[in-house]
Structure 1
Amino acid sequence: MKKFDELPEKYQLILSAIPIGSATMISKDELVNLGGITNREFYHIINDLIMRYGIVICSSRDSTHSGYYIPETEEERINGIRSLEEQANTMMLRANKVRNGDLTVTHAYKEKYSKTLANRPIQTRFKFDFERRTKTKQRK
């Protein structure tokens, strides 16, 4: 029997929450909230569980049924692989578009539409909080 490496605590938590079988998938948001982690940490943990520890974790991006699961059957594994391959193909198409895209056209679009935003105030969260606190202090 293979000796298992001890998983870090957060990895254990995430793995324990991923169900076996695609019928009861769990969403990324649920796993992030459960683990008290960021999206970036989540993707890093999933990648490590698969690539470093050899744990088979699949996901579905179907608009009506999406989430993460450990395949119960070979059919579920194949469906998970199909989802990854579709994502990889889309990423390769996008990479080719970026590689072969015309920067002159891109800059022309940017020039044309950057003026549109110039007349609109950009409301950042920091600016909004600062303005709200300032107005509250002025009222007192």
Structure 2
Amino acid sequence: MAELIDLSKVPVPDIIQPLSFEQRFAALKQILVGIDQGYQAVLALESDPITKLLQVFAYREMHLVAQINDATRGNILASSTGNNLIALGSRYDLAPLVIKREMQLQYRLSQKLLRMSHHLSVVCKWRLMG
């Protein structure tokens, strides 16, 4: 039977994006200038309404990426906590015991997933042989 991995050593998935307002703002400015070079001079002025709008767009985009990052972390066993972890466990008919902590639910869920993957590999081997 396979061994459990140490969840603290699981790398952060590539879908988790860094939150950098400056990078997002610069990318939006580059897109706008790519559409029309005339905006280059306008964007040099921090007080221009177009510059302010791009700042708002960059902030909003950063906020949405933060939400996506949080949702992703909530669906990964290594980083899931609270109600996200309970929902993750419920997919496999596991619920937290009243006296158990989140780490114990994570352990039980990883055990269940391991047993399910082992069972699946046995069934697949049986079907291939039969």
**Do the structures match in fold with TM over 0.5?**
no
- Tell me the TM-score normalised to structure 1 length: 0.31
Higher gyration radius (CA): 2
- Tell me the TM-score normalised to structure 2 length: 0.32
Q: Which has the higher contact order (CA 8 A, sep 6+)?
A: 2
